[in-house]
Amino acid sequence: MAPLSAVPDPPESARHRGRPPLTPAERAAHREARNAAKRRARREASRALEVITAQAAAPISPVPAAPAPAPPHVYFALGQRARALLGFAVGAFVPLASYTVVHVEVNTRPLMWFLVAGGLLYSSISVYTWAVKIFRWRLRALGFVVLLESTLTFCGILWLGLAGLAILMLLNALNAAVALQQSEAIEAPPAEVEPCYSPDSGLNLASAKRR
């Protein structure tokens, strides 16, 4: 019986799943390509870090803040009494004029109702704005406005109409006086802003300094 011949080893291409083996030059080219990709990724990361560092080191442009409303005692300070008195006069004049015209003039001159309507419109908006802040309910504020303005306009009882007139004069006077003080605060020049550097955070912060 003839001896069995030894089974030959599979070729090199079979051990690499059908791909021919890489030559030393090809291995070196692949290694160089991987190294080049790593170097390119490191350069991109370095450039991104430089951009972030430059943006952090750049001064931040200050954003002007809205002027905060002054406390009530500032509104009637010594230097602001002229504006306060003007606001009191303007605010109190409107309901007083409406009361006088509606109870004296309109009976003989019906066209004077236009003046009454203008005064009621002004007073209603002022009182409604104040009532919403106080009562926190729009419907309650609306009812308060309707009650006061109707008492001023249509009530035939003398003391009740005068009481509504006094309340409306006080509310409108205070509202107009405070509005004039707030308008002066808004028109005041803003504070000068100077950039400063914070070593702890590494960022430029803005600090306001009024000169």
Q: What is the rounded CA–CA span in Å between residue 199 and residue 196?
A: 10
Does 154 map to a domain? yes
Q: What is the rounded CA–CA span in Å between residue 49 and residue 54?
A: 9
Q: Is the sign of the CA dihedral 138, 140, 146, 149 positive or negative? A: negative
Does 178 map to a domain? yes
The pLDDT of residue 27: 79
The pLDDT of residue 63: 57
Mean pLDDT in residue range 185-203: 47
Residue with tokens 């803005």: 206
Q: What is the rounded CA–CA span in Å between residue 184 and residue 186?
A: 5
Does 37 map to a domain? no
Does 121 map to a domain? yes
Domains held by the chain: number: 1
Domain that holds residue 116: 72-187
Mean pLDDT in residue range 32-52: 85
The pLDDT of residue 48: 84
Residue 144, pLDDT > 90, answer: yes
Count CB-CB contacts under 10 A for residue 148.
21
Structure tokens at 69: 């409303």
Does 114 map to a domain? yes
Using alpha carbons, select from 137, 99, 135 the residue that is nearest to residue 119: 99
Does 57 map to a domain? no
Q: What is the rounded CA–CA span in Å between residue 191 and residue 64?
A: 9
Does 177 map to a domain? yes
The pLDDT of residue 204: 44
Does 209 map to a domain? no
Residue 139, pLDDT > 70, answer: yes
Residue 194, pLDDT > 70, answer: no
Percent of the chain past pLDDT 90, that is, above it, reads 27
Give counts: helices (H), strands (E), the chain.
7, 2
Q: What is the DSSP letter of 158?
A: H
In sequence order, what are the residues at sequence separation of 6 or more whose Cβ sits closer than 8 angstroms to the Cβ of residue 71? Answer: none
Residue with tokens 């015209």: 101
Q: What is the rounded CA–CA span in Å between residue 21 and residue 16?
A: 7
Residue 20, pLDDT > 80, answer: no
**Torsion of Cα atoms, 12 then 14 then 20 then 25, to 10°:** -40
For residue 189, the SS3 value is coil
Q: What is the rounded CA–CA span in Å between residue 58 and residue 54?
A: 6
Instruction: State the average pLDDT for the chain.
Output: 75
